[in-house]
Amino acid sequence: MRIAYQGIPGSNSEAASKVFVENRNLDAPVYLPAVHSAGVVELLSSGKADYGVLATQNLVAGEVLETKKALSDFSYRIVDAQWLPVHHCLFVKHPGVAKIGRIASHVQALGQCAHNLSRRFPGIPLQEMEDTAIAARYLADGCLPEDIAVLCRKNAGESFGLHLVAENLEDDSRNMTEFMLIQPIRRMSKTIIVCGLGLLGGSMAKAIKRHTDCTVLGWNRTRSVAEQALHDGAIDKIAEDADFASCDMLIPVLYPEATLAFLKEKVPAMKPGSVVVDLVGVKTRLVEEIGALAAKHGVRYTGGHPMAGLARAGYERSFADLFRGASMILVPTAATAPGDVEELSDFFRGLGFGTINVCNAETHDHMIAHTSQLAHIVSNSYVKSPVSSAYSGFSGGSYKDMTRIACLNEKVWKELFLWNRAALLPEIDDLIANMTHLRDAIEAQDADRLETLLREGREAKEHIDALNPSQPSD
């Protein structure tokens, strides 16, 4: 198993690599030092490495920008992540060095020890190097002046025969760096039909064209839209009836009722082993009806829901990076084959999605009723006040935030609300009850009760954010 890491033997990334190998029981590891993060990506891209190990962030110095830049246009999956203690020691070439002229190391190491270095070695300038262990090697090999001290791991300095000056110079004794073990996502090369080329479908087609080697066919009810997509290079061909029997993957991006009717017509004609992923925002009905149909005909069907969009729709607003960093929800069905979820997760990550969330249809519909559909209902109701039209100059942004999604497509949202009424109605009832409590307290001029209700809301928000530190809802 070939594992590329940033740095050279003795670096923190090498140490992290060995932790990953032990934790995941990887067989016959071969460690490939790559010096820079970009070198790790190059080895993965060329197929010369199976895994890569990179530092992502440090508790003191923050994000590792070198890694962020190297991975910006690289498709990968995170296999594992570990926070590891990092201790920095200062070495000179030999005991006879009387005065240190500079201190050299990686920018992250220098940042993690900045306070202690300035306190214990005041006035000594710092020099950035590619890696902590590389700095140690350069000093040992005579590539650096003898009056330079290097900051590195203790085992690295000792392995190069350097003289230890000081240990544990990190500013925080709990200093830790997060390392991740990654694998490349190979570019898919299949024939995919995207049906419905509005904002989501058009963006999906453009993302597939940009990030994969797939042949993309497009179908749209209004053919002129498909012709425009062909002209723009968003698709390679306009799909005809015969293409559905030979495609490898079908992604319908249609209204709920239209998706159901479309799949009932097309699935029986598709080749066994082909894949269907719908993007409808309600899952239970589709999963029940299409799951059984697809299983009957040997077609692999998994529900999907991209959590991305704009206030206004239309092909003219579509763009390839719409999904960058967004969450993609996958809902396995009776027709989801072993390995499909992993394969689809890689596929959608390769299109830019940041998070893949796998759940059943019932969980999906209950959560979406609260996080998406209820929000649209609130916005739709709020904007109908006769006062709304005069908002200009009277809002610090809250009015805009509350009303942005009132610009919905009533035809598609009507279907979504009705399809998900079992989950949505209780959410509406809870909202009405909570608003009624506030209204009653205001009407009664019950200041204590009103303060309690407002505090409960604030505390609920703080609790929610504490449970979701990586995705605060503000």
Mean pLDDT, residues 283-288 taken together: 96
Q: Which string of DSSP letters, residue by residue, matches 250-317?
A: EEE---HHHHHHHHHHHGGGSPTT-EEEE--S--HHHHHHHHHHHHHTT-EEEEEEEE---SS--GGG
Residue 71: what are its φ and ψ, rounded to 5°?
A: -95, 0
- CATH 3.40.190.10 domain position(s) in the chain: 2-85+180-184, 89-174
pLDDT bucket at 269, cuts 50 / 70 / 90: very high
CATH number for the region 191-359 comes to: 3.40.50.720
CATH number for the region 368-443 comes to: 1.10.3660.10
Kindly tell me if the per-residue pLDDT of 186 is higher than 80: no
Per-residue pLDDT at 466 = 84
Mean pLDDT, residues 327-347 taken together: 95
**Nearest-CA neighbor of 144 among 156, 136, 132?**
136
Per-residue pLDDT at 29 = 93
Per-residue pLDDT at 396 = 80
pLDDT bucket at 160, cuts 50 / 70 / 90: very high
Mean pLDDT, residues 235-241 taken together: 95
Mean pLDDT, residues 236-240 taken together: 96
Per-residue pLDDT at 471 = 67
CB 217, CB 193: distance < 8 Å: yes
Q: Mind listing the pLDDT tens digit for each residue in 162-180?
A: 999 999 999 988 888 899 9
Question: d(Cα 230, Cα 239) in Å, to the nearest integer?
Answer: 11
Question: d(Cα 157, Cα 166) in Å, to the nearest integer?
Answer: 11
Per-residue pLDDT at 391 = 84
Per-residue pLDDT at 174 = 84
CATH number for the region 2-85+180-184 comes to: 3.40.190.10
Mean pLDDT, residues 65-76 taken together: 88
CB 305, CB 328: distance < 8 Å: yes
CB 347, CB 358: distance < 8 Å: no
How many CB atoms sit inside 10 A of residue 138's CB?
A: 18
Q: Parallel, antiparallel, or unpaired for β 191-195 and 249-252? A: parallel
Per-residue pLDDT at 400 = 87
> At the fourth CATH level, which superfamily is domain 89-174?
Periplasmic binding protein-like II (3.40.190.10)
Kindly tell me if the per-residue pLDDT of 72 is higher than 90: no
Among 290-304, 307-321, 429-443, which stretch is predicted with the lowest mean pLDDT?
A: 307-321
Per-residue pLDDT at 472 = 61
- CATH 1.10.3660.10 domain position(s) in the chain: 368-443
Kindly tell me if the per-residue pLDDT of 474 is higher than 60: no
Kindly tell me if the per-residue pLDDT of 311 is higher than 80: no
pLDDT bucket at 395, cuts 50 / 70 / 90: confident
Q: Mind listing the pLDDT tens digit for each residue in 403-427?
A: 888 988 899 999 999 999 999 999 9
* Secondary structure letter of residue 405 according to DSSP: G
**Nearest-CA neighbor of 207 among 301, 41, 75, 368?**
75
pLDDT bucket at 26, cuts 50 / 70 / 90: confident
CB under 8 A, 24+ apart: contacts of 369-374:
369/420, 369/423, 369/424, 369/426, 369/427, 370/427, 372/281, 372/307, 373/281, 373/413, 373/416, 373/417, 373/420, 373/424, 373/427, 374/424, 374/427, 374/428, 374/431
